[in-house]
Amino acid sequence: MYSLSLATYLALKEVWRNRGRFFLVSLVIALITLLVLFIAALGEGLGTNNREYISKVDGQLVVFLEKADYIISASRLNQTTLRAVRRVQGVEAAGPLSAANTAILLPEQKVLKVSLLGVEAGRPGAPQLQAGRTFLSATAREAIVDQRVLDRSDIQLGDTITIRSTQGTDDQFYDLKVVGTTSGQAFFFQPSIFVAPSVWEQVRPKSEAELNNTTPAINIIIVRASDPAQAAQVQENLLASVNNIEVADIPTTINNIPGYSAQQGTVQTQGFFTLLIGVLVIGGFFQIQILQKVPQIGVLKAIGASNPVVGASAIIQISVVTAIGVAIGGLLTYLFSLGFPPTVPLAFDGKSSAFAIAALLAIGPLGGLVSVFYAVRIEPLKALRLS
């Protein structure tokens, strides 16, 4: 279409002849892009670190103690409940999960804080192995560790690690042999190490009152339905036949991780406001520019440029400047992300980055909308009267 090529000609000539000024605007957009992409990556990273283990378990339902409000740490179940759950119709398998915090001793007096998770080998809740093997027996002092533990220390498969747990009033130290590794198993922001339930009971931090416990305490039970599509039915069966429990699906469990929803909400709000600021900054710039260009646009119209040409030219210009800014910002983000330490929970996931980039590309035209309307409404008579 001829008007479009004319509009493109005008838009690009103007950008090129004023490239210094337009480049500055692109840089501002690049910085906004950098910020938005990092916020998106942070949100993704925070979310991942919180939900990673739970989102990967090989099951559809989670059994909690009644009135635990789906909070894992508030739920206390026992072996009787576990056996009862396994007998419910539609349950293919059920595995206990016991969660605690501990610290691995590293050289030079350093420690690495980890989640200590008790799981039964081969049952739902046990991690997928990346290398090595699972526990040989329910009492072997063996552990499967998250790849992040290896990344953040010099520990390797086959090494023996020492963990420190406070039991009663004393610090106790336990040796565990690393027999297997798994990856991407963060739980409550910490990398995880997995041990068998009775080992877990022995080595976990305990209060004075719990010192003589030998039967493993269970926080939650992860349930795999025979037919995953029938999970809702299985949930009803569980509630009907086992006393004192509540049951949630995986997404509900994730959303009830303490702070998870609030955290994601905070990050999303930050992202939204950054985009909003972007819209205002770009809108402001182009509005000021249009005000300065009134005589020029008047002349254009007086010599016969149509409104579609003038409007399209303004939109093309804004889009080009925005696209350049987003491209620079994307590149900057990539370069920065290379230099970030693994402890910063950044996760550049394709879907959320693509969404952020689409939103960023939209803010230019959105911000410039007012100025485009303004440009279209300038009277060609201005060319004569302002002279």
Partner 1 sequence: MSAIALEVRDVIKTFETDTGSINAVDQVSFSVSHGEFVALVGPSGSGKTTMLSILAALLTPTSGQVLIDGQDLARMGEAQRVALRREKIGFTFQSNNLIPFLSALENVEFMLRLNQRFDKSGKLRAAELLSRLGLGERLNNLPNQMSGGQQQRVAIARALIHSPTLVLADEPTASLDTERAFQVVQTFAALIHENQRAGIMVTHDLRMVQYTDRVLQMRDGKLVKIYSDKQEILALAKGE
Which DSSP helix (H) or strand (E) runs through 137?
none
Round to whole Å and give the CA distance between 154 and 312. 59
| Residue choice 303, 338, 341, 342 for contact with partner 1 (CB under 8 A) | 303
CB of 323 to partner 1, least distance (A): 20
- According to DSSP, the β-strands at 192-195 and 142-146 are antiparallel
- According to DSSP, the β-strands at 131-132 and 170-182 are antiparallel
301 binds partner 1 (CB under 8 A): yes
Residue 242 dihedral angles phi and psi, to the nearest 5°: -115, 135
Shorter beta-carbon distance to partner 1: residue 109 or 387: 387
> Are 237 and 52 contacting, i.e. CB atoms less than 8 angstroms apart?
no
CB of 283 to partner 1, least distance (A): 22
384 binds partner 1 (CB under 8 A): yes
| Residue choice 105, 281, 302, 366 for contact with partner 1 (CB under 8 A) | 302
Round to whole Å and give the CA distance between 270 and 262. 12
Cα 243 off chain centre by: 35
| Residue choice 14, 44, 120, 142 for contact with partner 1 (CB under 8 A) | 14
CB of 375 to partner 1, least distance (A): 14
Q: Which of 291, 293, 310, 367 is nearest to 25 (CA)?
A: 367
376 binds partner 1 (CB under 8 A): no
290 binds partner 1 (CB under 8 A): no
| Residue choice 199, 305, 314, 347 for contact with partner 1 (CB under 8 A) | 305
18 binds partner 1 (CB under 8 A): yes
Using the rule CB under 8 A, give the single segment among 66-74, 294-302, 335-343, 347-355 that binds partner 1: 294-302
> Are 189 and 208 contacting, i.e. CB atoms less than 8 angstroms apart?
no
| Residue choice 56, 295, 348, 362 for contact with partner 1 (CB under 8 A) | 295
2 binds partner 1 (CB under 8 A): yes
CB of 21 to partner 1, least distance (A): 11
314 binds partner 1 (CB under 8 A): no
Q: Give pairs for 285-290: CB < 8 Å, separation 24+.
A: 285/25, 285/28, 286/314, 286/318, 286/367, 286/368, 286/371, 287/370, 287/371, 287/374, 289/371, 290/314, 290/371, 290/374, 290/375
Show contacts with partner 1 in window 144-163 (CB under 8 A). Answer: none
Using the rule CB under 8 A, give the single segment among 83-91, 213-221, 262-270, 296-304 that binds partner 1: 296-304
CB of 386 to partner 1, least distance (A): 6
- At 102 the three-state DSSP class reads strand
387 binds partner 1 (CB under 8 A): yes
Name the one residue in this structure whose structure tokens are 């991690």: 127
> Are 188 and 257 contacting, i.e. CB atoms less than 8 angstroms apart?
yes
| Residue choice 107, 304, 339, 341 for contact with partner 1 (CB under 8 A) | 304
Shorter beta-carbon distance to partner 1: residue 267 or 310: 310
Shorter beta-carbon distance to partner 1: residue 9 or 272: 9
Shorter beta-carbon distance to partner 1: residue 124 or 298: 298
Round to whole Å and give the CA distance between 2 and 79. 77
Residue ranges that bind partner 1, judged by CB under 8 A: 2, 6, 9-10, 13-14, 16-18, 295-296, 298-307, 379-381, 383-387
